Amino acid sequence: MIESYLLKHLAGYIDGQWVEADSGKTADVFNPANGKQLAAVPYMGADETKRAIAAGRAVLPDVPDVDTRREWLEDTRDALLAEKEEIGRILCLEHGKPWKEAQGEVEYAASFFDYFAGTMADALAPETLPEKAKNCTWTVHKRSIGVAGLITPWNFPIGMIAKKIAPAMAAGCPTVTKPATETPLTMIAMFQLMHERLDLPKGMINLVMGSSSDIGGELMRSPDVPMISFTGSTGVGQLLIEQSKDWVKKLGLELGGNAPFVVLDDADLESAADNLIANKFRGAGQTCVCANRIYVQSSVYEEFSNKVIDRVKALKVGDGMDEDVNIGPLINQAGFDKVKDHVADALSKGAQLEAGKHPDELDASKSLFYSPTVITQVTHDMKCCKEETFGPLVPLIPFETDEDALKFSNQTEFGLASYVFGKDEARADRIVANLHFGHCGYNTGTGPAAHAPFGGMLQSGVGREGGHDGLMEFIELQTVPNGS
């Protein structure tokens, strides 16, 4: 079992109190590196969620001013950075990612508190419009949208909540957060820090964990929650869209991806290969911005493939707590079996296994460590091109012309991240401008950052996180024409 001074309470947090589930039920949390139980946390449902919403609703009229809220953000940033090692250790144990990566995620989370603390005063100031018709002065106020429901996935246990709760607090929104079942511990640690170090009014932040359908259902049913910010699969996002109609709720949806990574014949192949490895194997390939389909112009296909294969063979897989490990385990059996299925499907349709193990040698019931895998001669009818693999698989697909690269890249219903590598800027610009993806790295595999709006097109979602736009997700504009 996990021991940590940041986990004094293995509990939910409602109306300023640490609370168990009404039923007394708990859910076990496991370390994916060894299958051992780390903790048992409350398994809550609709009733606890109702109380959390009511607590948020009650505090709404008394939410403090911008200066106080800015201090909350600064104090949270400082607390996260001061406790980076311990939070990173908890994160590494429940998620499995290498501990350096886990600590990097804590810094990433802190950067969102820092960014919104630094920009919120200007961003939230009312705007006076020039006098136009009707001899009125027009003022646009930025009002808090009210209580916000925040639902997060397991792949960035602290990064994803930071992107939501930092702008929500900046905007003055009380929140009800539901973490993923696999990774509640990092979130509990963050709530403990906020509970101890911030002078928050009761009900300002609430944490419920347990039945996703009961908690999610209550958040969607309640007229007191006008906004839901969700990160996760497109399937659940679509369900939330259906459930939001009765109250016409505002939804921020950060959903699945299927990222193309295009290597043009004039690219710096060394740099492109390094960027691909860093991008693809972050979180063992379980990130929404991981390159999923790697398109390489045929004249450099062999050379680039060899560079990638050499690099992948040098990666070390193991327990994230071991210092020199590059790739940890996958999160669970379903995730493992999906990667295995994609590799088996590709091999059965003619792809070549260039690095990694044959799927027949891998068994999730024995271990969740999946060997980083490279396959060549990949074609578009294979599952790894059509679906998000969410694991350490590099499928290399040759293409002939720029038009082909664009056509193949856009051949998906998703539109989250994409990447283009090539020296000729005008040529690459033409491709970038025609990609239907909210994020397009040019000569970089870099993902989102606190100061930049990030989000998806098409079935990858609606709305943006990060940057000014990320704050505005939690704001209602109120326009006041003043005739006096």
Identified catalytic residue from 48, 83, 254, 465: 254
Contact, 121 vs 84, CB < 8 A? no
Q: Which of 288, 290, 384, 385 is catalytic?
A: 288
Can you tell me the distance from the alpha carbon of 373 to that of 357, in angstroms, rounded to the nearest whole number? 7
Which region, left, alpha or beta, applies to residue 67 given φ > 0 means left and ψ of -120 to 50 means alpha?
alpha
Q: From the list 256, 320, 356, 453, which residue makes contact with ligand NAP (rule: CB under 6 A)? A: 256
Could you say whether residue 257 binds ligand NAP (CB under 6 A)? Answer: yes
Name the helix (H) or strand (E) containing 164: helix 159-171
Site string for ligand NAP, 259-298 (x = CB under 6 A): -----------------------------x----------
Q: How many CB atoms lie within 10 A of CB 131?
A: 11
Residue 267: alpha-carbon gap to chain centroid: 29
Q: Which residues in 93-132 contact ligand NAP (CB under 6 A)?
A: none
**137, 213, 333, 401: which one binds ligand NAP (CB under 6 A):** 213
Closest separation between CB of residue 391 and ligand NAP, Å? 11
CB-based closest residue to ligand NAP: 216
Of 287 and 326, the one with the shorter C-beta distance to ligand NAP is 287
| Residue 377-416 contact track with ligand NAP, rule CB under 6 A, x = bound | -----------x---------------------------x
Task: Identify the residue among 21, 151, 374, 420 touching ligand NAP (CB under 6 A).
Answer: 151
Q: Is 440 annotated as catalytic?
A: no
Give min distance, CB of 353 to ligand NAP, in A: 25
- Residue 97 to residue 100: CA distance in whole angstroms: 8
Residue span 441-470 as binding mask against ligand NAP, x where in contact by CB under 6 A, dash where not: ---------------x---xx---------
- φ, ψ of residue 460 to 5 degrees: the values are -90, 0
What residues contact 60, with CB distance under 8 A and at least 6 apart? 144, 146, 147, 174
Q: What is the CA radius of gyration of the chain?
A: 23
Long-range own/partner contacts, residues 127-134 (CB < 8 A, 24 or more apart)? 134/481, 134/483
**Whole-number minimum distance, CB 316 to ligand NAP, in Å?**
25
Among 12, 42, 98, 153, binds ligand NAP (CB under 6 A): 153
Asked if 255 interacts with ligand NAP (CB under 6 A), we say yes
Residues numbered 294-353 forming contacts with ligand NAP, rule: CB under 6 A: none
Q: Nearest 10 degrees: CA dihedral of 153, 154, 159, 165?
A: 40
Please say if 85 is a catalytic residue. Answer: no
Which amino acid does the sequence have at 343? Answer: V
CB 176 within 8 Å of CB 219: yes
- Segment contacting ligand NAP by CB under 6 A, of 87-95, 148-156, 310-318, 353-361: 148-156
Q: Which is nearer to ligand NAP, 45 or 398 (CB)?
A: 45
Residue closer to ligand NAP by CB (options 311, 338) is 338
Smallest gap from Cβ 188 to ligand NAP, in A, equals: 14
Backbone phi, psi, residue 21, to 5° = -70, 145
- Minimum Å gap between C-beta 141 and ligand NAP is 29
- Helix residue ranges, H only, 260-394: 269-280, 298-313, 333-348, 383-386
Answer positive or negative: Cα dihedral of 61, 42, 161, 1. Answer: positive
> For strand 259-263 and strand 417-421, is the pairing parallel, antiparallel, or unpaired?
parallel
User: Strand 12-14 to strand 17-19: parallel, antiparallel, or no bridges (unpaired)?
Assistant: antiparallel
Q: Which residues bind ligand NAP (CB under 6 A)?
A: 151-155, 178, 180-181, 212-213, 216, 231-233, 236, 239, 254-257, 288, 388, 416, 456, 460-461
- Residues that are catalytic: 254, 288
